[in-house]
Amino acid sequence: MVIYPDIEILDGQCVSLSRGGFGDPDVFDITPAEAAMEFEQAGAKWLHIVDLDGVFQGGRHNADMICEIIKASDIPVQVAGGIRTIFAVHWWFEHGAERIVLGTAAVKDQPLVVEACARYPEKVVVSVDAQDGYVMIEGWRTRTAFTAIELARYFEQTGVAAIIYTDIDRYQNLPESSFAATTEMGTELKVPIISTGTVSSLNDISSLKYLPNISGVIIGRALFNKVFTLEEALAIAS
């Protein structure tokens, strides 16, 4: 199982948004470039970088910073946030991204996923963020009519390299949250599933490791808050 350290950038800073909105973000005392270097030195095999300004507004807002990280890194970088046109897909691949993630655009413009996958096989990942079983878009502010499973099944047929599945209920620490939704996603689909929003302790990594078809996990807040180290996470995942 691959550990993807998650660097979320808002207005040039490393942050974590506890509720998926702009309200009161946790800002970490480290630059995105410094975080990327530390993760790579700790043994990361991938970096997952999110332009949060792009998530909420569309477009590229922290692209210069992300491109500098890509140039400085010897490991592949997966870029997410605000990629909503085929031109934006082209742009990121031309600027060194190893994979790109389509979120809101994947739901609103499903032909975009088909075209991107056809042009860039095994390089396009789709993010499915779900709350109460339904897909949320636009930074978790808008609920769609799609269930997570039915949308993921559609994307599986388009040839995506993986599906990032965010269990918002578990991310927000709701009392009834569990690994059930993530388990269902892994069981029902053959495409690799990358779990996010599910890790707050090393025990969570241990649990995810044994779930069906979970190929990776994205971890941000717990690493930045030093709940555990990346070395510890990698040891369990391997």
Mean predicted lDDT score pLDDT of the chain: 91
| pLDDT surpassing 60 at residue 49 | yes
| pLDDT surpassing 90 at residue 76 | yes
Residue range 199-210, pLDDT digits in tens: 989 999 999 999
Please choose, from the candidates 164, 136, 216, the residue with its C-alpha nearest in 3D space to the C-alpha of residue 50.
Answer: 164
The half-sphere exposure of 198 on its side-chain side, counting CA atoms within 13 A, is 30
3-state secondary structure of 39: helix
Give the residue-averaged pLDDT of 80-98. 97
* pLDDT bucket at 177, cuts 50 / 70 / 90: low
* pLDDT bucket at 176, cuts 50 / 70 / 90: very low
| pLDDT surpassing 50 at residue 175 | no
Please choose, from the candidates 180, 161, 168, the residue with its C-alpha nearest in 3D space to the C-alpha of residue 106.
Answer: 161
Q: Which two tokens stand for residue 230?
A: 């990346």
pLDDT of residue 58: 81
3-state secondary structure of 218: strand
CATH of domain 2-237: 3.20.20.70
Burial 159-186 (b: 16+ CB within 10 A, else e): bbbbbbbbbbbbbeeeeebebebbbbbb
pTM score > 0.75 for this model? Answer: yes
Longest dimension (CA), the chain: 44
Q: Which residues are catalytically annotated?
A: 8, 129
- How many whole angstroms separate alpha carbon 120 and alpha carbon 230? 30
| pLDDT surpassing 80 at residue 72 | yes
Amino acid letter at 84?
R
Residue range 101-147, pLDDT digits in tens: 999 889 889 999 999 999 999 999 999 988 887 888 877 778 888 88
